[in-house]
Chain A
Amino acid sequence: EPEVTQTPSHQVTQMGQEVILRCVPISNHLYFYWYRQILGQKVEFLVSFYNNEISEKSEIFDDQFSVERPDGSNFTLKIRSTKLEDSAMYFCASSDIHEQYFGPGTRLTVT
């Protein structure tokens, strides 16, 4: 069964450093997403991506965040200058239309 994969599973970084989180969506899906979940809180939408551009972003997705689909398979989330409050699980998801399938997540710890 096809699945979304993410790397790394855990990333530890110092405040102010840049991080890139990587995702390989399901191959025939056209819509890609990033969500985050702070420990103990609900899953929150960050950004959606379709046809090689951002289609919607939330208030959380400020200028420190960017997404890219550098080739036909990868989908990345970059945080330019991490803050302590960026510590969370980051989930990538992909969908054909309605049903979104999530990757296993990257746990980001900012120290």
Chain B
Amino acid sequence: RKEVEQDPGPFNVPEGATVAFNCTYSNSASQSFFWYRQDCRKEPKLLMSVYSSGNEDGRFTAQLNRASQYISLLIRDSKLSDSATYLCVVNRYSGAGSYQLTFGKGTKLSVIP
């Protein structure tokens, strides 16, 4: 089983639509969770951290279910500028000051006018 698994997409949605991304992770020792976005040939940019209680940042809502090892991201009222690849990322503390991020392959989103 892959460490972090995501639907590769692509998701093609019209402007204004709501879109949901799902992610599962295999390492139960994972301690913190993130969504990053990556534009073509650019660096990953932190979108939001994900907490068990769920958290919201404007049009973006993230959820974590530790029991199911499942993470989600919901984008409401999609904008053209949301077009990017969304990366599900888990963080594991392996001791001696080492936090190691494990990335999923990403889900590509295209928002269409």
Contact = CB atoms under 8 A, between A and B. Distances in A.
Contact of A55 (B45, B87, B98): B98
Interface string A59-99: 00000000000000000000000000000010101010111
A98 B93 CA distance: 9
Interface residues of B, number: 24
Contacts, number: 64
A95 B95 CA distance: 15
A56 interface: yes
A18 B103 CA distance: 28
Contacts of A48: 97-100
Q: Is the interface of A mostly helix, strand, loop or mixed?
A: strand
Given A41-B105, A42-B105, A43-B87, A101 B46 contact: yes
Interface string B70-113: 00000000000000000100010011111111111110000000
B28 to A, nearest CB: 18
A7 B109 CA distance: 30
Interface string A39-50: 001111100101
Contact of A43 (B41, B46, B103): B103
B22 interface: no
Interface of A: 30-31, 33, 35, 41-45, 48, 50-51, 55-56, 89, 91, 93, 95, 97-105, 107
